[in-house]
Structure 1
Amino acid sequence: MIASPVVRLSAAAALALLPAIAHAAPPKTPHVERLVLLMRHGVRAPLGGEVPPTTRTGQPWPRWDAPAEQVTPHGAAALQALAKADRRWFAAAGLLPANGCPDPAALRLWTNSSPRTIASGESYAAGFAPGCTLTVGHKPVGENDPIFEPLGAHPAPFDARRAVESIDRFTGGAEALTRRHAAGLALLEQVLACPNGPCSPVEPSAVQPSADGHGIDFRGPIRAASGTAQVLMLQYLEGLPLAQVGWGRATPARLEALGAVHGALFDVFSRPPYMAAFQMAPTVDRITQDLTGADAPKIDVLIGHDTNVAALAAVLGVPVKAPGFATNDPSPGGGIAIALVRAPNGRQAVRLWYRSQSATDMRAARDSAVWTPLRLKGCDEGPEHRCALPQFLKRMELATAPARG
């Protein structure tokens, strides 16, 4: 057997390698004139009924310390850490100073009117500017805010039958959607591990207009399993001991795979073109005002739900993917950033990112964020993936036209 030679580098030779390593450094933060960030609220306790009551398991579910549906103390800490990372990015982009209390005219925080989104805004503000009093705006608790829940405002043009037709075209039908996620549904059964399966409720897949005609009713395996998959991911993000996350059977890799089952819900409620138009029309109006209005703030942070992020991604025609999450499964705290920049010719343009924490960083409440550039098909100029502002605004207008009568 011949021993491998030992390679020793002189200090000079080692330094000579540094230029080859330098390219791995993160790209320089761009100069930004204005930015809109539409993000999901933070890690929360399970919603009431999120796991269908007829779902069976081999062992009892772990208990949560936080009230149902509310952001947990750990979720608040993760949001504060994320806000610190955002503050550094915004400062590097020239949007505001790195330290001190931001000018109230430069930063606007607006949340949906649910307690968990309001609490998310307050946690984000505390991390963004510790010791400062930042206003977190929202409508009165429980009052509908069309920016985040437009169908709850019962828009007159909405036609539930046309919505179902759009959903069927987009998915190929509810049964086809279920078949596409057969592997994920089977994996969920393995994690639930109930005796004498199946564990999740079994019923035919169907999408139909709601009884009042103002929305969509969706039932079947995806509907039943989506919330269950989300609760398992929330256990991990909350920092529960791994032996309690899916009873020790929901590894990070399995949770990422199960996220596709949760994300499939948005293939019905958020991504079909007709649904995306109605889910996004008021939000698109807000974004347009932010990018063009003379009195708009430099930064507008909108804190809502995963349905909002999924619908905006659909309107823009881009995927969203955070490390540790399935593609098109919006992560807690994750959001789409729309930045107003200048092209080399001096004209206004837009750049897009999906800004998120990784699942492991969220679990640790680590001060970190990932900014993933997004490319708009047909409007992707240069290595920075710019889209001219007029063209960008026109795309959003056309994508939401069905909701405008």
Structure 2
Amino acid sequence: MTHTINRQTFDEVMAPNYSPLSMIPVTGDGSRVWDQLGKEYIDFSGGIAVNVLGHCHPALKQALNQQSEKLWHLSNVWTNEPAIRLAQSLCNKTFADRVYFANSGAEANEAAFKLARKHAYDHFGPEKHEIISCKNGFHGRTLFTVSVGGQPKYCEGFEPVPKGIRHITFNDTEALTTAISDKTCAVVLELIQGEGGIITANPEFIRAARQLCDQHNALLIFDEVQTGVGRTGKLYAYEHFNVTPDILTTAKALGGGFPIAAMLSTEAAAQSLTVGSHGSTYGGNPLGAAVANKVLELVDSKEVLEGVVKRHTSFINKLQKLNQKTPVFSEFRGKGLLIGCELKTEYHGKARAFIQMAEQHGLMLLVAGLNVVRLTPSLIIPEEDIAEGMQRFSKTMQVFAKNN
């Protein structure tokens, strides 16, 4: 081991489950990042839809610094003011009556799935335990959440996985109608499949899910880990559909970069999460809750949410113009600032190669599967950063097309 920290050092000391790109970011400001050599990058990745207010937003720094002078951690043997304030805010701004805090989207989903089974057990008995979710869905990396997620590759080598889970095709109302029964305790849906390629749910499918859950006494769970906290131009994406869930999970953007997550639920559903039935040592941590309070205050404003819609139009218009000159993509899709760019058939399987080239041109991007380049920038990214980032995106497209 050397004292120099570089990409090779990562390979020497870290578990090999990640394969990060070559540069190491060291500082960030807004939607710009600088690496160890001082090279600047435009950040269209947003920490995978986390950095909704960009890097090192002054108001978030102030909230974190102020709380750091008071309390860092207590555990849930005691409560704390920032967590209670955050729960109040989430209930006031959404359908929810009750809130459970965790540290990540996977933990929020784990809690949601456990609650769904416990609620069914309490009211209907142990036979009502089946969970229905969608193929190509993604709900986290714990053993339970990858089992509910509809991507078998994430379960390979970890079997046996939890049972009682059925997967249907996303947006297939007939398949859902066939699959659901009185043994179903919950239907779990992403309103936009993120890791599955940025696929938006059909309103008819979401309405049918609500009706079928009511008919079969099952809970409807919306996974809004990626779509929540302004990402789609609404505070939560379910507002686009005029359908209210029984449980909603939120993480990523909630802390603006500080790890925090929450499970929101109705009063009726929450009652099954009795004392001792579930828990989290760090859940509702004062530091995370203090930052999240400020994030919600800033994001849930007309200026920011309407700005997301305007920026979506700006991105899509620019992407379409670039694609006319260098036709690399077959489709642009998504809502707000969750945008998927699907590569043309001849370039399928090369999304990661595209983002590697983008890094060389000073641009940070993501993938959503093998064939889709994903953009999840800051919700308040300045127009000049969008324009500069698109110039770098254009260069990447040109080199990518030439090399492939």
TM-score over 0.5 for the alignment? no
TM-score, normalised with respect to structure 1: 0.22
Please say which structure displays the higher CA radius of gyration. Answer: 1
Q: Which of the pair is proportionally richer in strand? A: 2
TM-score, normalised with respect to structure 2: 0.22
